[in-house]
């Protein structure tokens, strides 16, 4: 067993380390930079989450979460976003394999699911506002619309980005620059789903409990 480990080490040590070989390829640098951006974006979301958690009881006599949230709608939104994350991963694999038709197919599925999520969310907001639960009504509702709306804006930006990327694949093909952007898009889309996991847990599931 020790021998096997030793042999493995020799094989690895035979390769020059990254610092000796010069700067890392651009794909790694770009994706790492985007990873740092995503983490800073998540830090921003954490501030909105903290504000929401502090203000969740400050309903000023207005409606509370338990009267406003529709769990069925939230479950469908969650399913849309989760499956779209999966199809986004399938799209990444199709891009790596340079399969153009599969890339388009999974991009379209991802786009449709993301658009369905956004439609349900906008309908939920419109329904709440029609019932008088506007952002001006209470500190709780201000925090709710800021937090959930900010995630919705990110999803809308992601949809626009995905449409642009498909245009780039169509016009420029699988160029290195286009592949780097597609990698960043996949990171962005997966990160949005992680934020949504916390959203439906903290806002909707904890919110419906008395």
Partner 1 sequence: MTDARYDRAPGDISISAEAKERTLSDVGIYTIGLALAVILTATSFWVANTSLLWAPGIPLGLVVLAIAQMGVHLIFFLHITTGPDNTNNVLALAFGVLIVTVVVAGSLAIMTNLNDGMMPAELMNLHMQH
Q: Which residues sit at the interface with partner 1, rule CB under 8 A?
A: 12, 15-18, 20-21, 24-25, 27-28, 30-32, 34-36, 39-40, 42-43, 46-47, 49-51, 53-54, 71, 75, 78, 82-83, 85-86, 89-90, 92-93, 96, 183, 186-187, 190-191, 193-194, 197-198, 200-202, 205-206, 208-209
Beta-strand ranges (E) seen in 30-158 are none
Least distance (Å) from partner 1 to the CB of residue 128? 20
Report d(CA 128, CA 64) in Å as an integer: 11
Q: CB under 8 Å to 192, separation ≥6 — which residues?
A: 81, 151, 154, 155, 158
Q: Between vectors from CA 27 to CA 21 and to CA 31, what angle results, nearest 5°?
A: 120
| Sign of the Cα pseudo-torsion (167, 168, 171, 174, in order) | negative
Nearer to partner 1 among residue 132 and residue 177 (C-beta):
177
Nearer to partner 1 among residue 51 and residue 150 (C-beta):
51
Nearer to partner 1 among residue 58 and residue 153 (C-beta):
58
């Amino acid at each position: 067993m020790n021998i096997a480990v030793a042999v493995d080490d020799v094989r690895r040590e035979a390769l020059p380390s990254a610092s000796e070989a010069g700067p890392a390829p651009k794909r790694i640098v770009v994706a790492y930079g985007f990873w740092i951006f995503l983490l800073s974006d998540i830090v921003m979301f954490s501030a909105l989450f903290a504000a929401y958690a502090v203000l969740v009881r400050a309903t000023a006599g207005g409606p509370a979460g338990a009267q406003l949230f529709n769990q069925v709608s939230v479950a469908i939104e969650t399913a849309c976003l989760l499956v779209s994350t999966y199809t986004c991963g399938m799209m990444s694999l199709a891009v790596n394999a340079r399969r153009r038709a599969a890339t388009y197919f999974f991009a379209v599925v991802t786009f449709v699911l993301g658009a369905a999520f956004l439609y349900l969310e906008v309908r939920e907001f419109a329904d709440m506002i029609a019932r008088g639960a506007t952002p001006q009504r209470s500190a709780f509702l201000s925090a709710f619309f800021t937090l959930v709306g900010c995630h919705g804006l990110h999803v809308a930006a992601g949809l626009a980005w995905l449409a642009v990327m498909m245009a780039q694949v169509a016009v420029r093909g699988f160029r290195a620059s286009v592949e780097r952007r597609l990698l960043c898009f996949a990171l962005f889309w997966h990160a949005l789903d992680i934020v949504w996991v916390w959203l439906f847990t903290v806002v909707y599931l904890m919110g419906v409990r008395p």
